[in-house]
Amino acid sequence: MDRLKEGRTLILMHTGADPDALAAAMLARHLVGDHDIGVKDGMIAVSVQMAEMLEVPVVVGPATSDYDHFLVVDSSSEGMVGLELPRDRTFVIDHHNDGGWEDVAGTLTVPRTSSVEVVLEILDENGIEITREEALASIAGISADTGRFRFGDHESFATVARLMQRYDIDLSEVFSLMESEHYYDPSRKIANVKGAQRMDFRRAGDVIIAFTRVSSFEGSVCRSLLMVGADIALTVSEQKKEARISGRAKPYLVRQGVNLGRAFQRAAEGTDANGGGHAGAAGIKTAPGADLDRLLKDSLEEIERELSDRNAE
């Protein structure tokens, strides 16, 4: 890892970087020096807002030829990053356990609820202090990756509590960092309403799986469908550069062993699509023009398999 301090290093996040990716990248600067933070296609709206408010510059669409080394954070495979990286000069810090980086120069993959926690542990071991802005971003990252703390374990809460105490932070400050403007964004509201309007659903016993089509704000649309009454919500969206299906499951299903990340990964097997993610929040990405109906059908089948395999009480 010390190699990363020499020459130019790019701290690289996955496309559509979420607050966990952004915060982990910010923290990683303490490990490798104040190098560029980059992302191929841009970040999701909440991360863009966080980066603006915390004044963190992010290079969108970096040229890999400009850098000597790459430190990838919060990404379980090259597919998530979207750039072809020289394996012998690439290092990875992550919390997903998908084994997608076998031949790189170094990986540090620790099963935690967020990448932030993995980087914080390294910093703690080395006695490195972070700034208050980084602490705010870290809590936002943990919050985002735990579905607003719904899936947080005792370790993530301990970390959050420690940061809140050490840096005198209250959660309302963290949430205002994440939702002050885009929360009221008219296009988000329209996406949520259209998502409900176009919704269809199927039943698997008592479990309602809702699915719909939108062009953006998939995570937000999924959450609204869960609030409407679905137990699992899927959104299909097709954009110029990418088509994808996003999914969210209610926490009780995750506790029973349902894993959407695994379901999407299986649905993507043998196709050009890339599937995976967390148990309660996951997705599948593919090229525009791909057979999304087929992919949705396969995803639904894999989700139903997860449901029949679970430990329902």
In the complex, the residues that contact Mn ion under the rule CB under 5 A are: 20, 74, 115, 145
* Identity of the residue, 20 or 78, whose beta carbon is nearer to Mn ion in the bound complex: 20
What's the rounded Cα separation, in Å, for the pair 245 and 90?
A: 29
Residue 238: C-alpha distances to residues 222, 242, 282 (Å): 15, 6, 16
Residue 104: C-alpha distances to residues 1, 151, 299 (Å): 12, 30, 30
* Identity of the residue, 119 or 191, whose beta carbon is nearer to Mn ion in the bound complex: 119
Q: What angle do CA 250, 256, 262 make, to 5 degrees?
A: 75
Query: What DSSP assignment string belongs to 39-72?
Result: ESS-B-HHHHHHHHHHT---EES--GGG-SEEEE
State the first-to-last Cα distance of the chain, in angstroms, to the nearest integer.
46
Shortest Å, Cβ 248 to Mn ion: 15
β-bridge mates for residue 213, sequence order: 236
Shortest Å, Cβ 134 to Mn ion: 16
Shortest Å, Cβ 95 to Mn ion: 6
Shortest Å, Cβ 117 to Mn ion: 10
Q: Quick one: DSSP state of residue 179?
A: H
Shortest Å, Cβ 237 to Mn ion: 20
* Identity of the residue, 145 or 302, whose beta carbon is nearer to Mn ion in the bound complex: 145
Strands 232-238 and 243-249: antiparallel
* Identity of the residue, 146 or 299, whose beta carbon is nearer to Mn ion in the bound complex: 146
CB atoms within 10 A of CB 5: 12
* Identity of the residue, 148 or 305, whose beta carbon is nearer to Mn ion in the bound complex: 148
* Identity of the residue, 41 or 304, whose beta carbon is nearer to Mn ion in the bound complex: 41
β-bridge mates for residue 36, sequence order: 10
Q: What angle do CA 276, 281, 285 make, to 5 degrees?
A: 40
* Identity of the residue, 117 or 302, whose beta carbon is nearer to Mn ion in the bound complex: 117
β-bridge mates for residue 306, sequence order: none
Shortest Å, Cβ 216 to Mn ion: 21
* Identity of the residue, 74 or 78, whose beta carbon is nearer to Mn ion in the bound complex: 74
Shortest Å, Cβ 291 to Mn ion: 29
Closest residue by beta carbon to Mn ion: 20
Are 142 and 20 in contact by the 8 Å Cβ rule? The answer is yes
Shortest Å, Cβ 190 to Mn ion: 28
What's the rounded Cα separation, in Å, for the pair 285 and 237?
A: 10
What amino acid occupies position 21?
A
